[in-house]
Amino acid sequence: MAQLSLRSVLSSGVMALALVAGMAPVVAQAQVLEVGVDASPVGLDPHLITAFPSFQVVSGTIYEGLTAIDKDLRVQPSLAQSWTISPDGKTYVFKLRPGMTFHNGAPVEAADVVASFHRVTSKDIASPLASRLLTMDSVVATDATTVTLTLKEPTAPLLVSIATLAIVPRSFEADKDSLQRNPVGTGPFKFKEWQPNGFIALSKFEHYWRAGAPKLDGVKFNIVPESATRQVGITSGQFSMLANIDPATALQLKGKPNVRLAETLELAYTVIGMNTSKPPFDNAKVREAFNYALDRQEIITAALFGAGVPAGPLSPALKDWAVPTAQFACYKHDPAKAMALLKEAGVTLPVTITMNVLPRQDIKDIAQVAQAELNKAGFKVELKNQEIGAFVQDWKNSNFDTFASANAGSPDPDDYFYRTFRTGGSTNVFKYSNKDVDGLLDSARQMTDMAARKAAYAKVQATLACEGPAAHIAYGQLFSAVRANVTGFDMIANRSLANLADTAVSK
């Protein structure tokens, strides 16, 4: 009773204060979706950005590619309404939708597609996406709405990898500065205003090619670094959406009045990588022991609050490709077996190693749980919590024993495996080299027969799971929190917010 009255006195006091200070209660704003995000984008040029904070603001909202990825991770037409592939798999002919315009009023034509592809591969622009077009031989505008793309060799994942390759007006081909601040695309929303570290506002693009979209008048991304503050923002109704939040945040918002959680299994995964170029992880038995020592389910329960599944080399979201983890022997938690393998490997116990940790709370938790598990199974792990710059540099220079990190994943197995696990692959920081794996990866990317390709990747997965250089830990459940009056929003496993085109806010 005493507590109750104290509380009501306090709250009426606060309300009085609020009135005096002129704070108005929330008024639902006319169809502008207020989104709370955790970090500020550093730039908005679709060909230069690499980080999630930038990606989720622009991808599918401001910019679109020839193709698009839907929520089942399958390829759909986007700016290209159709395409044909030659029998040898080397020539793609894309047919553009007629009558589309860019946000600056210029028409969308084949020449813009050609210019965009050239922009991505240009040395001067130095786009990190250039590797997506590594096998491109030439790209030509046959007529105003037809683009012919010729490849040096068949590239199975092409349609997936060009989905997030934005098409920009040809006038920007050699311009590496303008789009960072003033993006111009074809998407349902056009750029309106950016208050650095404050917010980014987009407004409805009236001439969007898809009739009836977008439904919103605008989207405003509010940058709020503190997790607790974001949560208050959505429970108070100041924000209508928190996009792509972690399980811990989601769990805290569960059951809050007027807040609904959307979820999907994430394409991104958490991983502990091992350096195979030096002891002890140059020994496949030690890597296998490492896997036996880990209890993935416990890690998921602890660090992801149970919201996730143990990870094999491919996400179960890739229903056509992934081998179930039950088939991997080393995924059964068995510290005794781990010890035995270490003894077989002839290393001195305990095996002293360091683990570099990506500075993200879920990864820090994963590392701490893994450390406790590994220490019980013959390892002695020292965690090195680094800031992002040092972490990336050590990662890039293979300067680690092990590292705990997260990676974005790809809807196509080749896109991930080839650069990561093939000898000399561009992100093979583990310095892993396995002739069988190399052979399988080389042949699989040229296969057009789906069954054969699937069999090849199944073998690769079986090898990578237990003696590969990366212990895949978990695919997390990805959440977005929305207010109850937000309709039509669906999540996409790659964190794209393209779906905002069909989202509406009811009064």
Partner 1 sequence: MTRLVLTRLVDLAFVLLGVSLLVFCMIRLIPGDAVAIMLGANTDVTPEKVAALRSRIGLDQPLLTQYWHWISAALRGDLGTSLWTGRPVGEEIASHIWPTVQLSVLALVIGAGLAVPAGCVMASLRGRAADVAMRLASVAGLTIPSFWLGIVLILVLATLAPSLQMLGYVPFWQDPLDNLARLVLPAVCLSLPILANLSRLVRSALLEALGQDYIRTARAKGLGEWRVLYRHALANAMIPFVTSLGIQTGYLLGGAIVVEQVFAIPGLGQLILGAIGDRNYPLLQAVILLVTSGFVLVNFGVDLLYRLLDPRLRD
Partner 2 sequence: MRKSPLLLFAVAMVALPVLLGLGADWLAPYDPVGQDIVARLRGPMVGHWLGTDQLGRDVLSRILYGSRASLLVSAASVGLALLAGGTLGLLAAYYRGWTERLVMRAMDILFAFPVMLLAIGVVAVLGPGAATAAVAIAVVYTPIFARLLRGPALVICDSDFVAGARAAGATDARILLVHVLPNLAGVMLVQTSLLLSSAILVEASLSFLGLGTQPPNPSLGLMLAEGRNVLMLSPWAALFAGAAILLLAFGLNLLGDALRDRLDPRLRGPG
- Binding-site ranges for partner 1 (CB under 8 A): 7, 10-11, 14-15, 18, 21-26, 40, 42-43, 50-51, 123, 126, 128-131, 177, 180-181, 195-199, 222-226, 228-229, 232-233, 235-238, 387-390, 392-393, 395-396, 407-408, 419, 426-427
Residue 70 binding partner per list partner 2, partner 1, none, with a CB distance cut-off of 5 to 8 Å that depends on partner kind:
none
Q: Does 302 bind partner 2 (CB under 8 A)?
A: yes
Q: What angle do CA 412, 418, 419 make, to 5 degrees?
A: 105
Choice between 147 and 242, CB closer to partner 2:
242
Residues 6+ away with beta carbon under 8 Å from 294 = 272, 333, 370, 373, 374, 471, 473
10 Å Cβ neighbour count for 82?
10
Query: Residue 461: which of 355, 315, 344 has the closest Cα?
Result: 315
Please choose, from the candidates 252, 101, 245, the residue with its C-alpha nearest in 3D space to the C-alpha of residue 185: 101
Query: Helix 413-421 vs helix 450-467: angle between axes, to the nearest 10 degrees?
Result: 40
Alpha helices by DSSP H, listed for 147-243, are 158-161, 178-181, 227-235
Query: Which 3 state secondary structure label does DSSP give 470?
Result: strand
Counting residues that bind partner 2 (by CB under 8 A) gives 27
d(CA 83, CA 28): 43
Q: Which is nearer to partner 2, 251 or 455 (CB)?
A: 251
CB atoms within 10 A of CB 241: 26
Given 228, 326, 336, 392, the residue binding partner 2 (CB under 8 A): 228
349 binds, among partner 2, partner 1, none (CB under 5 to 8 A by kind): none
Pick one of partner 1, partner 2, none as the site partner of residue 371 (Cβ within 5 to 8 A by kind): partner 2
What minimum distance in Å lies between the beta carbon of 463 and partner 1? 23
User: Which of the choices partner 1, partner 2, none does residue 301 contact, using the CB cut-off of 5 to 8 A by kind?
Assistant: partner 2
The residue from 383, 408, 458, 504 that contacts partner 2 (CB under 8 A) is 383
Nearer to partner 2, 360 or 431 (CB): 360
Q: How many CB atoms lie within 10 A of CB 13?
A: 10
Residue 93 near partner 2 by CB under 8 A: no
Stretch that binds partner 2, among 37-45, 58-66, 172-180, 248-256 (CB under 8 A): 248-256
Contact 100, 158 (CB under 8 A): no
Q: Identify residue 146 by its one-letter amino acid code.
A: T
Q: Which is nearer to partner 2, 301 or 427 (CB)?
A: 301
Distances (CA, A) of 480 to 311, 408, 441: 22, 17, 35
Per CB under 8 A, the list member of 91, 150, 252, 398 interacting with partner 2 is 252
Residue 128 binding: pick among partner 2, partner 1, none (C-beta 5-8 Å cut-off by kind): partner 1
Site residues for partner 2, window 455-474 (CB under 8 A)? Answer: none
End-to-end alpha-carbon separation of the chain, Å? Answer: 37
Shorter beta-carbon distance to partner 1: residue 374 or 482? 482
> What residues contact residue 454 under an 8 Å CB cut-off, 6+ apart?
320, 321
Report the partner that residue 236 touches, choosing among partner 1, partner 2, none (CB closer than 5 to 8 A by kind): partner 1
- 371 residue type, one letter: Q
User: Among 249, 283, 420, 477, which residue sits at the site for partner 2 (rule: CB under 8 A)?
Assistant: 249
Q: Which of 301, 407, 427, 485 binds partner 2 (CB under 8 A)?
A: 301
Task: Give the three-class secondary structure for 384.
Answer: strand
Single out the residue of 4, 387, 435, 449 in contact with partner 2 (rule: CB under 8 A). 387
Nearest to 285 by CA among 360, 195, 211, 347: 347
Interaction partner, residue 504 (partner 2, partner 1, none; CB < 5-8 Å by kind): none
What contacts 323, CB < 8 A, 6 or more positions away? 312, 313, 314, 458, 461, 462, 465
372, interface contact from partner 1, partner 2, none, CB < 5-8 Å by kind:
partner 2
Residues in the chain: 507
180 binds partner 2 (CB under 8 A): no
Least distance between partner 2 and beta carbon 256 (Å): 9
Could you give the 3-state DSSP secondary structure of residue 171? helix
User: Using the rule CB under 8 A, is 244 a contact of partner 2?
Assistant: no
Q: Which stretch binds partner 2 (CB under 8 A): 99-107, 189-197, 321-329, 364-372?
A: 364-372
What is the smallest separation between the CB atom of 158 and partner 1, expressed in angstroms?
17
Decide if residue 368 touches partner 2 (CB under 8 A): yes
8 A C-beta contact, residue 134 and residue 152 = no
Q: Please, which residue, 58 or 367, has the CB nearer to partner 2?
A: 367
Minimum Å gap between C-beta 44 and partner 1 is 9
Nearer to partner 2, 213 or 372 (CB): 372
What Å distances lie between residue 74 and 63, 159, 163, 319, 320, CA to CA? 19, 10, 10, 10, 10
Question: Which residues sit at the interface with partner 2, rule CB under 8 A?
Answer: 226-228, 231, 248-249, 251-253, 298, 301-302, 359, 361, 364-365, 367-369, 371-372, 383-387, 390
